[in-house]
Amino acid sequence: MNAYKTTQNRSYSSSNGASSSGTSFNRSSSQGQRSGGFSPRGGSSRSGTGPRNFAPRRSGGGYSGGNSYGSRSGYGSRGGYGSNSRSPRGRRSFSWSISDLIKSIEFSKRPRPVSSEEAYTNEFNFVDFPIVDILKRNIVTKGFKTPSPIQDKAIPAILAGEDLIGIANTGTGKTAAFLIPLVNKVFKDKTQKVLIIAPTRELAEQIETEFRYLSAGMGIYSALIIGGKSMYAQKLGLNRRPNFIISTPGRLNDHVERGNIDLGTFNNVVLDETDRMVDIGFLQDIKRFIAQLPKERQSLFFSATVSNKVQEILQAFVQAPVTISVKKQETGENIKQEIVRVQGGLKKIDVLHDLLITNGFDKVLIFANTKWGVQKLSDELVKRGFKADAIHGDKRQGQRHQTLQKFRNDEIKILLATDVASRGLDINNVSHVINYELPASYDEYVHRIGRTGRADKKGTALTFMEE
């Protein structure tokens, strides 16, 4: 298995001895004076990418590269990044191991059969769907060309009024799969009300953005009900009787308890990424919402996996549903997966620094496990001259939204995030995903690396492993 491997002279190479493309350079392990740029193996000076000016000296004790996964490590005098603890107060539990990761990456490199999605032949084009002309024009304006498999299968069923279970990963086009038929339905009958529940603020915002494109000029309105925004302003928006309410579970519960939203009035309900809502602790909330919904409704359910707890929701939510499974392979063939081995004596942050100044690291998403760790790492990268910022649960929603927009617009080149804050992110042209800390499960690993290699583009996923 090829891997990025660090040695004491900070030379990056693959395990077969050949230099890994785009990351080959020597660097002294000295803590002394640092030049304005690193020289590649060939000896010519590096220019044109990465920050040129950063601190000429690095004091000792800041970051430690020798911590093993599962142990708590800190910052400054307390050690370095490398923690897999959930918070400074508790140890993070893991459902997989380094060996599982290595096996996963080795498996991803094997020749594989053509997946069902790659072999899929569309039955419909967008013009074939029985939807109104203005919506067809909006679809063209949005840039949609050919329906994805889940759109091809789900849209006719939803237009026919069926309850639906869609088993699909993020990035399969499922948002448009439910928005297109529901926008069409509401345009034809303005008495229809739609409730869409998503696990995170960022995903809810993305759904609303797509809704605005698809419903342009149709006289259909939405309210975005998420945490981090003014309850009063949201109540005013609800008083305007929007056709669509797009919400996260926590803030939806707040408005329901205050009498601002009557769940009994919604005759169309979408649960999006239900497995993630269960994972982050909203199982009981979802069950309580379902109990308050009218019996006569159209119910649409989307999830990447169906665990026993998710099955509990399904049994109460849908009636005689159509089931569509359009899961992509667990790790896309467009994503090159590698291990970054950090040997004892090297500082993990320095290894990350050396990677980030390498050609090709154009738009990088870095994952760590705690809000505290993400922010500290972001602050350190900014000190070193990188255009970086972080999103996590301790930031206000306005800050998170602004940071995401900067990343999308290439105003910053590096975004750091926790798993919860990044749920559902759809950002174009991410060149690299870096797992600075090991995720808690294989499903989380798949979700993280799926932020790159999207829309038939190539991407690279690197996972740090300390030795």
CA-based Rg of the chain, rounded to a whole angstrom? 24
Angle at 131 between CA 125 and CA 132, to 5 degrees: 125
In order of their start, the domains of the chain are: 4-111+332-466 (3.40.50.300), 126-325 (3.40.50.300)
3-state helix, strand and coil shares in percent for the chain, rounded to the nearest 5: 35, 15, 50
Q: Which two tokens stand for residue 182?
A: 């529901």
Rounded percentage of the chain residues whose pLDDT exceeds 90: 52
Q: Over the stretch 397-410, which tens digit does the pLDDT of each residue have?
A: 788 888 988 998 99
Closest CA to 427 of 404, 448, 447: 404
Please name the residue that has the structure tokens 């665990």.
Answer: 307
pLDDT of residue 76: 31
pLDDT of residue 423: 62
pLDDT of residue 360: 93
Closest CA to 457 of 431, 435, 436, 425: 431
CB of 131 within 8 A of CB of 184? yes
pLDDT of residue 438: 87
Q: Over the stretch 376-394, which tens digit does the pLDDT of each residue have?
A: 999 999 999 999 999 987 8
With a cut of 50, list the residues of the chain below it in pLDDT: 1-92, 114-116, 330
Please name the residue that has the structure tokens 């505290």.
Answer: 372
pLDDT of residue 61: 31
Q: What are phi and psi of 251, to 5 degrees?
A: -70, -35
| N-to-C CA span, the chain | 17
Strands, sheet with 335-342, edge to edge from the N-terminal-most edge strand = 4-5, 335-342, 459-466, 432-435, 364-367, 414-417, 388-391
pLDDT of residue 93: 52
Q: Which two tokens stand for residue 456?
A: 């038939």
Q: Which two tokens stand for residue 434?
A: 């870096």
pLDDT of residue 394: 84
pLDDT of residue 467: 75
Secondary structure element (H or E) that encloses residue 271, with its range: strand 268-271
Dihedral Cα 119, 121, 125, 131, nearest 10 deg: -100
